[in-house]
A and B are shown apart, each in its own frame.
Chain A
């Protein structure tokens, strides 16, 4: 029985890891873009980003997932009632049959990139102006200044809050079961319904613990790597 449960949970854990990895892959760069937007001198863009971040951070991820998954369908239903829905609404409604996994991914990427963007912003704004000015009087271009001077200092500063957020992401993946994506908790729960066993659900905790343990070690390693300078 134990072997059977482990296999089944491993399968679910695979999905968990997939959500985790793909979310990071897209949300890390997207977050940087949003953070640039929210620091922009162009006021409308700045406020657009701020309002967007507010909406995403101000509502539960679970709700966002449900909206992403069911929202287009509702629009589709409503569009059927209109005589001439127009190109945009037709296109939007054509998303009705969303892949569950894609819906989860979209919600997660949007949600996490907003959190990441605030961490990036905090990191970038915490770099003393003197660094930028020093680069400027040395004739550096803006991009050179960012990549050669600021970036590594930002990474060093945001590593602790980033690791926090990323470890939270590991556990947030369990929300995916709300729209019936077969991740590890979902896999564990099935044994309650099918066999009346509760321990497989408890057992899932071990998977999370090990995964987060590895991540903790990894972040510790990176922090140590950047220990050679202060600032």
Chain B
């Protein structure tokens, strides 16, 4: 069964239709890259998946469970919405680390707050918090930031901040990890270190949705490529569609890139 099923997502901003019916599926452990020119709706699609925008129409299933249905969205309680949200992790283009917390605290904050809802929180408070910190330290090691664990975001480079942001998203164990142009705010040198981390996640069986402009990276890491154009999926398929595009639009897009 598909890990992620997106059906007929529509989204308008005012009178402008940004998404005009998006359908795709993704299996567990697969990586999909969403490419396309600016304004094609890539980021909006990601924001609809992660509840930062509400689609007017369409459904999203994760692991066979409905996590979004535009028709009944209004009846979902805030608590339920937050629970559903946790199916997805999101890494932002602009990192959005919390500036007043250290690397470790940035990764720990959300899990610690969530732990407060656990029924056994009061009884095992110390053990739970320790476990969260241990887990966070492992994640920080995984993104290669152990030596800077007690630093604040303002003391880190963009690439380092983004790696911490990835660890922070992983800390809640999302079923699907989304990346919104994770390297667009970074110079080529720093881009490399972030892509390396994302690549290593693929080996770890993470299901990922990546919006990116890094064509080589998309080609290398993806099981599937989605090319979006003006709010619809113009072409989708394996990474080889980047070598042999069928649609005119994708051909034109790739040509513009190679120039």
**A111-137 contacts to B (CB < 8 Å):** 128, 130-131, 133-137
Closest-by-CB residue of B relative to A141 is B82
Could you tell me if A149 and B98 are in contact, using CB atoms closer than 8 angstroms?
A: yes
Q: Are B153 and A137 in contact (CB under 8 A)?
A: no
Asked if A134 and B96 sit within 8 Å, CB to CB, the answer is: yes
Bound Cα distance A130, B162 (Å): 14
- Residues of B near A152 (CB, < 8 A) are 100
If A229-B154, A230-B154, A231-B153 touch, does A138 touch B168 (CB 8 Å cutoff)? Answer: yes
Q: Identify A137's interface contact among B52, B83, B97, B113, CB under 8 A.
A: B52
Question: In the complex, which of the residues A128, A136, A138, A230 contacts B172, with contact meaning CB atoms closer than 8 Å?
Answer: A138
Partner of A133, one of B52, B82, B86, B169: B52
Nearest CB of chain B from residue A142's CB, rounded to whole Å: 8
Q: Does A153 contact B (CB under 8 A)?
A: yes
Contact residues in A for B152 (Cβ distance below 8 Å) = 228-230
Q: Which of A136, A144, A231 contacts B52 (CB 8 A)?
A: A136
Main SS class of interface, A = helix
Query: Do residues A128 and B153 form an inter-chain contact, with CB atoms below 8 A?
Result: no
Beyond A131-B96, A148-B109, whether A136 also contacts B51 by CB under 8 A is: yes
Let me know if A139 and B85 touch, CB within 8 A.
Answer: yes
Say yes or no: A230-B98 contact (C-beta < 8 A), given A137-B52, A139-B85, A148-B113.
Answer: no
The residues in A between 137 and 189 inclusive whose CB is less than 8 angstroms from any CB of B are: 137-141, 144, 148-149, 152-153, 156
Given A136-B51, A144-B113, A148-B109, verify A230-B99 contact (CB < 8 Å): yes
Give Cα A230–Cα B101 distance, bound, in whole angstroms: 11
Rounded to whole Å, the gap between the CB of B155 and the closest CB of chain A is: 9
Q: Which of B178-235 contact A (CB under 8 A)?
A: none
Q: Is B68 an interface residue (CB 8 A)?
A: no
Report the nearest B residue to A149, measured CB to CB.
Answer: B98
Interface residues, chain A, CB within 8 Å of chain B? Answer: 128, 130-131, 133-141, 144, 148-149, 152-153, 156, 228-231
A-B residue pairs, 8 tightest by C-beta: A231-B99, A138-B110, A130-B96, A134-B96, A230-B154, A137-B90, A229-B99, A229-B100
